[in-house]
Structure 1
Amino acid sequence: MKIAVIDGQGGGIGKYIIERLRKELPEQTEILAFGTNALATAAMLKAGANEGASGENAITYNCGLVDLIVGPIGIIVANSFLGEVSPRIAEAIASSSVPKILLPVIKDRIEIAGYTSQPLPHLTDDLVSRVRRYFEYE
């Protein structure tokens, strides 16, 4: 199983996701880090990703080559992360037939009705639980 973790800016959310997935998933799980920039990718590689790549082409190319995509919801919003998520990145991720599990963490111009703010560790607990359930059925 291959999981793509996508993040931008400093990669802090992606780093935290990867650390948690590494603790919870089988050792043979392949976790790939895709950052909108090299700093984000480096942080996720340091957290335990098997491989990583940076930039628009790496992200758009790999969206269909993995079993699951995870990251903050901003990865499907064009121009989020202070413009780091290009419209092409957002479209490639959102249009990919690959299932996505996204954290409702967004600072940009979007509010999610019905969502109550929770700390990142609680949100990540839910994300990891959903990833585990997803792979139990395969």
Structure 2
Amino acid sequence: MDFKKPVIVYSAATNFEALLIVAMLHTNGVPAHAVEVQSGVSLWALGTIGQFHKPNIWIDEATQKEAADLIRDFEAKRKSRNAPVNGLADIKVICEDCGKTTSFPNSLDGTTQECRHCAAYVDVWDLGWDDDFGETED
């Protein structure tokens, strides 16, 4: 892509997020390019070290306002997805790998997330009934 005045409009948390935002910008008519981080410099046993792994999204300065508005909307939608729905309790999930319980906002119902204890994938869902299926012991 040829940008007359290239500027960084966003520093994403991950390469995947950067590519997702670039696709969203393209869909809305804003040319953009993600510079992914491929270096292993920021990697350590528990993930990446903050401030090293920063995939950047580049746009032309002429489209900066439009891109910023779209990215603000993206951030607002992400925040609302992660916010609990009023009146509903968090969903508690027991990890099949480590056996520990993790709570997730009810807005993530029906998704797959990572266990906060061992990073295994867990299905977040609320079945809407008790574990004993409403039966009582006689």
TM-score by length of 1: 0.25
Question: Which structure carries more strand by proportion?
Answer: 2
TM-score by length of 2: 0.25
- Considering Cα pairs closer than 8 Å and 6+ residues apart, tell me whether 1 or 2 has the greater RCO: 1
Question: Which structure carries more helix by proportion?
Answer: 1
